[in-house]
Structure 1
Amino acid sequence: MHETKGIEEQGRSNELAQGRAGVGQGLDENLTANRDNGNGHAGLEQVTGKALTFDSQFCPAETDPFDTVEWESRTASIKDENGGVLFEQTGCEIPVDWSPLATNVVVSKYFYGEPNTSERETSVRQVIHRVARTIADWGKADGYFASEEDGERFYCELAWLCLHQHGAFNSPVWFNVGLYQQYGVGGSRGNYRFDTETKSIRRPETSYEFPQASACFIQSVEDNMEDIMRLATSEAMLFKFGSGTGTDLSTIRSSREKLSGGGTPSG
């Protein structure tokens, strides 16, 4: 597996993820879902299955999750072995309990925007809200929650878990999710998706409306040059958005086997 954008996963594993169970509880019958709410995920006209209800398990009821921690302004700084500055951002709003390592990782890797511009994220609350708000809104639009209030409780629980470092998403989620929905970032045409309305596979006009959020992909390849080059393109597009990919190469002939035109493969 390969992952781009220089992610410091060894530091993030202890600082940003300690693992804790999900918080969904209960089921409710026959929810009438909302239609498209503008985030690109159109809900079904009638959801005839079961919808989730949520009770507050972590974030106190009627409480803004971002009010459950103390905040302070910090400078995120990464230096080389000689003390030279590799990365630095001042005025970052960070929870007091977060370590310097967690601060450097989230600011340098996951804050959206070009450094030293107005589009740059400056607070952990912006990053977590961007992701949690988008996921919760998708769930509400697609009819996953029994009520608007259940969807909001889900948002609060998800934000609380990330904010208190009981869980962390993979890198492509932090890189890509919410850029279109919260900031209006489109980008060039993205990878393909399944359209639930037309029941067909289509390629969105922008990269981030339906963002790539999975960390790892498994691909196949046939023993011919066309498919080998198709694989190279697929890998490059997955790397572009921060994911990794692995391929079963056992289908490709070895360098000792014969070619149909004579001779043996050169590589």
Structure 2
Amino acid sequence: MRIERRYTSAGQSPYAAIPFRSAISEIKNPDGSVVFRLEGIEVPEAWSQVASDVLAQKYFRKAGVPAHMKKVEENDVPSFLWRSIADEAALAELPEGERYGSEISSKQVFDRLAGCWTYWGWKGGYFTSEEDAAAFHDELRFMLATQRVAPNSPQWFNTGLHWAYGIDGPSQGHFYVDFKTGKLVKSKSSYEHPQPHACFIQGVQDDLV
């Protein structure tokens, strides 16, 4: 698959031409008491407060994001698509309470979504060349940041957590199609092959009652 760049340039950050701002997101009770507050989040300047709140309150990963990470080398994958895991040695140098935390920037979310999708695409042999994979990666990040594209909610929640941060957990009973064999396989991991589906279509004979 060939990917033509429309918004980005090779060798330049896809965020280079996009202004970002620091914002605060909070939820208050009717009596004014604060239920949720997150300061210093980074969002595109053009985003509304509602969009910023949805990202911060719903889609930021709130726990388990390592303060220090290292890449996992794969000989058959371009280095810019190598996944990351916690750097245990570097984390050991930090106070225990500072080793893991939350996503705080929209760029982290855009990077993990687009990075994971591109990684899966590379593994599946979708791209004609490494340059096409890089273009896909950059174009998607730009389009996410400028609200030209947006996935469904479970993608924001789950996709890329294993690829970007090494977050994982036991299988939750879902299945995925193995791209090598074309067969349905029960996942052994909750995040390496997540279940990012928003709806489940019932059989035509079901009336949902």
The residue type equivalent to 1:79 in the other structure is K
Per mean C-alpha deviation after superposition, the further-off stretch among 112-121 and 99-108 is 112-121
Q: Is the contact between residue 124 and residue 179 of structure 2 (CA under 8 Å) also seen in structure 1? A: no
The residue aligned with 1:144 is: 126
* 2:166 is equivalent to residue 184 of structure 1: yes
Larger Rg: 1
* 2:131 is equivalent to residue 174 of structure 1: no
Q: CA RMSD in A?
A: 2.3
Cα distance in 2 for partners of 1:138, 1:207 equals 16
Cα distance in 2 for partners of 1:64, 1:206 equals 32
* 2:177 is equivalent to residue 194 of structure 1: yes
* 2:147 is equivalent to residue 165 of structure 1: yes
Cα distance in 2 for partners of 1:195, 1:60 equals 33
Q: What's the CA shift for 1:114?
A: 3.0
Q: What's the CA shift for 1:210?
A: 0.7
The residue aligned with 1:155 is: 137
* 2:206 is equivalent to residue 249 of structure 1: yes
Cα distance in 1 for partners of 2:129, 2:207 equals 50
The residue type equivalent to 2:188 in the other structure is E
The number of equivalent residue pairs is 175
The residue type equivalent to 1:214 in the other structure is H
The residue aligned with 1:212 is: 195
Cα distance in 2 for partners of 1:93, 1:125 equals 8
The residue aligned with 2:35 is: 86
Q: How does 1:8-19 map onto structure 2 within 5 Å? A: none
Cα distance in 2 for partners of 1:175, 1:133 equals 15
Cα distance in 2 for partners of 1:61, 1:197 equals 30
TM-score of the superposed pair, with normalisation by structure 2: 0.76
How has the CA–CA distance of structure 1 residues 251 and 56 changed in structure 2, closer, same or farther, with 3 Å as cutoff?
closer
The residue type equivalent to 2:52 in the other structure is T
Cα distance in 1 for partners of 2:108, 2:208 equals 46
Q: Deviations over 1:118-175 (max 9, x none)?
A: 3310100000100000101111111111100001001111110110111211101001
Percent of aligned positions that are identical: 35
